[in-house]
Amino acid sequence: MSQQGYVATPPYSQSQPGIGLSPPHYGHYGDPSHAGSPPGMMKPAGPLGAAAPGGMLPQGPSPPGPHQFGQNGAHAQGHPPQRFPGPPPVNSATPSYAPYSPSTQSSYPSPASTASVTQLASQLNAMHINSYGSGMAPPGQGLPGPPAPLFQGLPRPPQPSIMQPGSQVLPPPPTALNGPGSSPLPPSTHRQDGLPGPAPLNAQYQPPPLPGQTLGTGYSPQQASYGPQMAGGQLSYPGGFPGGPAQMAGPPQLQKKLDPDSIPSPIQVIENDRATRGGQVYATNSRGQVPPLVTTDCVIQDQGNASPRYIRCTTYCFPCTSDMAKQAQIPLAAVIKPFATIPSNETPLYLVNHGENGPVRCNRCKAYMCPFMQFIEGGRRYQCGFCNCVNDVPPFYFQHLDHIGRRLDHYEKPELSLGSYEYVATLDYCRKNKPPNPPAFIFMIDVSYSNIKNGLVKLICEELKTVLEKLPKEEQEETSAIRVGFITYNKVLHFFNVKSNLAQPQMMVVTDVGEVFVPLLDGFLVNYQESQSVIHNLLDQIPEMFADSNENETVFAPVIQAGMEALKAADCPGKLFIFHSSLPTAEAPGKLKNRDDKKLINTDKEKILFQPQTNVYDSLAKDCVAHGCCVTLFLFPSQYVDVASLGLVPQLTGGTLYKYNNFQMHMDSQQFLNDLRNDIEKKIGFDAIMRIRTSTGFRATDFFGGIFMNNTTDVEMAAIDCDKAVTVEFKHDDKLAEDSGALIQCAVLYTTIGGQRRLRIHNLSLNCSSQLADLYKSCETDALINFFAKSAFKAVLHQPLKVIREILVNQTAHMLACYRKNCASPSAASQLILPDSMKILPVYMNCLLKNCVLLSRPEISTDERAYQRQLVMTMGVADSQLFFYPQLLPIHTLDVKSTALPTAIRCSESRLSEEGIFLLANGLNMFLWLGVSSPPELIQGIFNVPSFAHINTDMTTLPEVGNPYSQTLRMIMSIIQQKRPYSMKLTIVKQREQPEMVFRQFLVEDKGLYGGSSYVDFLCCVHKEICQLLN
């Protein structure tokens, strides 16, 4: 294993300059171009395939040099490489909290706000500033630099010497907005918005919402600007919008102003989809159908393709040729959540049992029987939809065909008529050809001094008594088949014998952490019901047992090793629940040192911070996966604990990482307990291997997720639960035909919680087209962002962040430029034209670029970045959508008589109002923001206190006040929390008080506190890139 040693990366995704099928500009981050397997390779491997450990190991990643990106789009055309630059000069580097008041010039403490070098950008900033509150600040103030030179002539090359964060992504001068070579004046005079005085500037803004007023409606009249749905919207600025009343008057050279209300709004897109497709039945009967958005509630009916709850694609129409794919640069990918939770009003998966015969499979490609198999010759044979091989129908499976060539039992067999179903697997699909044992859960508690002292150990032990009653079980079973075991540790390990016939639990100490062995077999893993009294006895005793311990040091790798060895000895898969708090500094394998080096930030070595500091965890993860041992880690750090190292095994084994910074019993226990309960109870499959099969012409080339790969095709997971998604990228290896389409089959072989071996099959058929317009029409931005995030976050292990950010911007511009060039109807070069399906791609992409993982800033903790990186790697589309673009709800508009959520508003400070109360959620955090003039009756209703000043911001749950406001708000919060994998901690934020800084980071349309441009600025930047590409 190499020093960089990130074994999750399969060999073909490692950078191998010079090999591979794709030209450099198509690949992401240098070259995921799958040199490992030849085109068309479809290993007809056995059920377990080439899964045996010790097979092909990934080559050490060879970090590609910058030359690989030299041909990347605009970059190659001499475009300045650095668009998302690093930290600003010292004096503006650390934003300090600046309470904003009407008299403050720059209320927005962005480091970039002082760095603006164009008048236009300054105006945009000024709009942000003044949009809040009464907006009395004269917009001319705080605008640095003489504007004049920047508005002369054609776009000037950026001047790095004076550029600061934000400035390089600033909107180009007006001429650039018009497109190079076009007239410096706008093509029309729809808008005469010149240098505004205070009043017009405000007039241009949508006023802050008043109580009872719904935001976002201002957008609808302008929708027409995005053009006909078919051709995609055409956003043209300046002057392209129905401008409304003359908003601005002033010198014409300062006309360009982007009204945030006139650029595509994520909220509007979400609401439009809800309005047209919400509450309906969505049947998956046609190929290449684009499903409703993840944010739209509807009932999914499986009619031959997998539900979008299981698979979502970046586009539902693949280009016919790889040339087309390269031209468009739209990633071809599927986000697969094989164990997704299905709502109770939808049909659960059918279970097909062919007895000893097992599933029917194609002889050549081993694809499973599915609706894409074509029966011929009176039903005696069938042609495989994936490899075209003609197979004999096994005698037990024979059935006559009807007059249209369909089997008479078509609708009686799930595998013939449905997109998703399960097979009972035969012994051939089991390890060593024998049925698996039911899985086990092992609870491993760090009992070092601090955990005992702060009460955490007691809390965990108390909770386990309750939660063990709820171990997951098969639906038809009365009790859970899962066995449980207990270990505590500091720098040594304590195993417990909790056999049911014991009066007292027995402890066995293992001090040799260098080579952990399991000191007992009988009595370690037990049935909870049988051993309940001994277990409760143990859980009562543990906090007492270590009450006087002064041990500060802990081990970590030996803990995982011990759990894995115990599962191995019991010959069963399972899950370790580890509750850990500190950097493991005790002398043992996997010992870590504090290597949190902020000096690496913004250098080529920054990637080291995301890599594990020792390869012990790599090989441990590999062993765990080989033995079906999934590791879930609850971390309670009070300082740096090296999440990049500690989190590696959880990530590669399909486990979950939970992190509670500076855990405080009264503030954080609820969040932790919710997570623990949810994690123990969630649906999960063990010892899983996923295999993606495709029809001829394309294949899966790269995989992202909580996975491990020993070869190029078998995606191994020690376990996979209902919240984990694997994102798969596809590439062409031949032409695709429009008539046969592109077919995908995802098969997951796994062990159920009851110990049954099963195959879960998901099938999806996509269209193919030789028209680029078809491709763009069928794109899904939410899935695109999921893909971009995962591929970028994977790349941070090997690439400088600067390069990754550039690639993201370039590819965004490329995708949009290709559309503009090939699909849009002729229009002025000045127009920014966005395909309808991608009109919010820029805003989402900007959110990704501003995420702390990609933002190289010393203010953000290294552990937090590593943590978020890891979370995103396993997210499904709905979770990544919410994570990158949080939900912001005006609570003061609540209708207490309705159960409907208020319409969300855009994540920008300009949308808040001091009379309002807003709830923000991103899947990890929840904030309740209260404006200084929040209505007292609402405050009374929610908090049961008389005024704003009386609100206690220390609470993390709202009090239960017996009135409709309180009830409705708490219900809304629980609806938002539902279906989310992490319990969101609530923070109460009062306007103009310190914690608001944290809250503001989530207002993702604004400039970031730590850098990262505003949506408006980013859109200008993308437009400029597009113009350059089109030139």
CB of 227 to Zn ion, least distance (A): 43
CA distance 216 to 903: 8
CB of 740 to Zn ion, least distance (A): 13
CB of 370 to Zn ion, least distance (A): 11
First to last CA, the chain: 46
CB of 43 to Zn ion, least distance (A): 12
**Quick one: 241 or 368, whose CB is closer to Zn ion?**
368
CB of 360 to Zn ion, least distance (A): 11
Q: Indicate the SS3 state at residue 848.
A: helix
224 binds Zn ion per the rule CB under 5 A: no
- Indicate the Cα dihedral angle 825, 830, 833, 839, nearest 10°: -170
**Quick one: 391 or 944, whose CB is closer to Zn ion?**
391
CB of 428 to Zn ion, least distance (A): 18
Structure tokens at 333: 């990918």
Q: Give the interface segment with Zn ion, choosing from 278-286, 381-389, 420-428, 700-708 (CB under 5 A).
A: 381-389
CB of 391 to Zn ion, least distance (A): 8
For residue 862, the tally of other CB atoms under 10 A from its CB is: 21
H, E, C per residue of 64-99: CCHHHHCCCHHHHHCCCCCCCCCCCCHHHCCCCCCC
Q: Give the interface segment with Zn ion, choosing from 358-366, 461-469, 485-493, 897-905 (CB under 5 A).
A: 358-366
Q: Give the interface segment with Zn ion, choosing from 95-103, 359-367, 642-650, 970-978 (CB under 5 A).
A: 359-367
**Quick one: 362 or 621, whose CB is closer to Zn ion?**
362
41 binds Zn ion per the rule CB under 5 A: no
**Quick one: 367 or 644, whose CB is closer to Zn ion?**
367
CB of 300 to Zn ion, least distance (A): 28
**Quick one: 388 or 771, whose CB is closer to Zn ion?**
388
Give yes or no for a cis peptide into 238 (omega within 30° of 0): yes
Amino acid identity at 884: F
CB of 387 to Zn ion, least distance (A): 3
CA distance 174 to 170: 11
**Quick one: 44 or 221, whose CB is closer to Zn ion?**
44
DSSP 344: T
Q: Give the interface segment with Zn ion, choosing from 111-119, 382-390, 785-793, 868-876 (CB under 5 A).
A: 382-390
Which candidate, 507, 521, 527, 545, places its Cα nearest to that of 441? 527
Binding track, positions 361-380, relative to Zn ion; x by CB under 5 A = -x-xx-x-------------
Binding track, positions 431-450, relative to Zn ion; x by CB under 5 A = --------------------
Q: Give the interface segment with Zn ion, choosing from 120-128, 172-180, 389-397, 819-827 (CB under 5 A).
A: 389-397
Contact yes or no for 700/694 (Cβ under 8 A): yes
Using CB under 5 A, which of 136, 389, 408, 932 touches Zn ion?
Answer: 389
CB of 316 to Zn ion, least distance (A): 23
The C-alpha angle 741, 743, 747, rounded to 5 degrees, equals 175
CB of 388 to Zn ion, least distance (A): 7
The C-alpha angle 805, 807, 812, rounded to 5 degrees, equals 100
**Quick one: 733 or 915, whose CB is closer to Zn ion?**
733
* H or E stretch covering 868: helix 862-873
Structure tokens at 172: 């180009």
**Quick one: 714 or 1025, whose CB is closer to Zn ion?**
714
Contact yes or no for 109/859 (Cβ under 8 A): no
CA distance 922 to 924: 6
Contact yes or no for 844/247 (Cβ under 8 A): no
Residue 702 CA from chain centroid, whole number: 17
Using CB under 5 A, which of 349, 352, 384, 834 touches Zn ion?
Answer: 384
* Burial class of 74 by CB neighbour count within 10 A (0 to 12, 13 to 18, 19+): buried
Amino acid identity at 39: P
Return the half-sphere exposure (C-beta side, CA atoms, 13 A cut-off) of residue 575.
31
Q: Give the interface segment with Zn ion, choosing from 217-225, 328-336, 385-393, 494-502 (CB under 5 A).
A: 385-393
Q: Indicate the SS3 state at residue 616.
A: helix
Q: Give the interface segment with Zn ion, choosing from 237-245, 387-395, 608-616, 1003-1011 (CB under 5 A).
A: 387-395
**Quick one: 362 or 1009, whose CB is closer to Zn ion?**
362
**Quick one: 376 or 955, whose CB is closer to Zn ion?**
376
CB of 361 to Zn ion, least distance (A): 8
* H or E stretch covering 1026: helix 1015-1030
Structure tokens at 541: 């005793």
Return the half-sphere exposure (C-beta side, CA atoms, 13 A cut-off) of residue 931.
25
CB of 746 to Zn ion, least distance (A): 15
**Quick one: 35 or 384, whose CB is closer to Zn ion?**
384
**Quick one: 614 or 765, whose CB is closer to Zn ion?**
765
**Quick one: 364 or 410, whose CB is closer to Zn ion?**
364
Structure tokens at 299: 């009932």
Residues 403-432, interacting with Zn ion (CB under 5 A):
none
CB of 375 to Zn ion, least distance (A): 14
Using CB under 5 A, which of 386, 443, 486, 885 touches Zn ion?
Answer: 386
**Quick one: 384 or 1016, whose CB is closer to Zn ion?**
384
Length of the chain: 1031
Contact yes or no for 794/1003 (Cβ under 8 A): no
**Quick one: 745 or 908, whose CB is closer to Zn ion?**
745
Q: Indicate the SS3 state at residue 486.
A: strand
**Quick one: 693 or 760, whose CB is closer to Zn ion?**
693
The packing angle between helices 781-795 and 862-873, to 10°, is 130
Structure tokens at 277: 């497709």
Strand extents, DSSP E, 881-954: 887-890, 917-921, 925-930
CB of 41 to Zn ion, least distance (A): 13
Q: Give the interface segment with Zn ion, choosing from 300-308, 384-392, 590-598, 806-814 (CB under 5 A).
A: 384-392
**Quick one: 497 or 745, whose CB is closer to Zn ion?**
745
H-type alpha helices, 891-1014? 936-943, 964-977, 996-1000
* Burial class of 275 by CB neighbour count within 10 A (0 to 12, 13 to 18, 19+): exposed
Residues 968-987, interacting with Zn ion (CB under 5 A):
none
Q: Give the interface segment with Zn ion, choosing from 386-394, 563-571, 707-715, 1010-1018 (CB under 5 A).
A: 386-394
387 binds Zn ion per the rule CB under 5 A: yes
Which candidate, 634, 762, 756, places its Cα nearest to that of 686? 756
Structure tokens at 295: 């944010």
CB of 521 to Zn ion, least distance (A): 45
CB of 383 to Zn ion, least distance (A): 9
Number of residues near Zn ion (by CB under 5 A): 8
Q: Give the interface segment with Zn ion, choosing from 360-368, 588-596, 722-730, 741-749 (CB under 5 A).
A: 360-368
Amino acid identity at 365: C
Phi, psi of 6 (to 5 degrees): -100, 95
CB of 693 to Zn ion, least distance (A): 8
**Quick one: 368 or 443, whose CB is closer to Zn ion?**
368
The residues that touch Zn ion, with contacts defined as CB under 5 A, are 362, 364-365, 367, 384, 386-387, 389
